[in-house]
Amino acid sequence: NAGVTQTPKFRVLKTGQSMTLLCAQDMNHEYMYWYRQDPGMGLRLIHYSVGEGTTAKGEVPDGYNVSRLKKQNFLLGLESAAPSQTSVYFCASSSAPPSSLHFGNGTRLTVT
């Protein structure tokens, strides 16, 4: 009964370093999303995917890349981390919209 699993839970990067966040879901959902959550700003969509092999930009895509090579996985990459990317990142999945989203527990990223 895992649902949506995000790894890692915490990460600290230095400016300019790269990293990849992994999201895995076991609900056979077609749609997957990456959001970032910042104080006072709610959740903002970074990128999303409507199926295996597809990706699309959300509201705040700059500085991030994503891949959906397998239906159950959605990866978020930062090629050159910046302090402005310090945030909590949430992955979510859903059936075809307007279904409700199922969220992971988040990854807290700090960029120094």
Partner 1 sequence: AQSVTQPDIHITVSEGASLELRCNYSYGATPYLFWYVQSPGQGLQLLLKYFSGDTLVQGIKGFEAEFKRSQSSFNLRKPSVHWSDAAEYFCAVGRTGANNLFFGTGTRLTVIP
List residues near partner 1 by CB under 8 A. Answer: 4, 31, 33, 35, 40-45, 48, 50, 56, 58, 90, 92, 97-98, 100-106
Nearer to partner 1, 19 or 50 (CB): 50
Q: What letter represents residue 38's amino acid?
A: D
Three-class secondary structure of residue 84 per DSSP: helix
CB of 58 vs partner 1, minimal distance in Å: 6
CB of 7 vs partner 1, minimal distance in Å: 14
The angle formed by the CA atoms of residues 84, 62 and 107, to the nearest 5 degrees, is: 55
CB of 105 vs partner 1, minimal distance in Å: 5
5 burial (CB, 10 Å; 0-12 / 13-18 / 19+) is middle
Nearer to partner 1, 28 or 98 (CB): 98
User: Tokens at residue 102, please?
Assistant: 């199922």
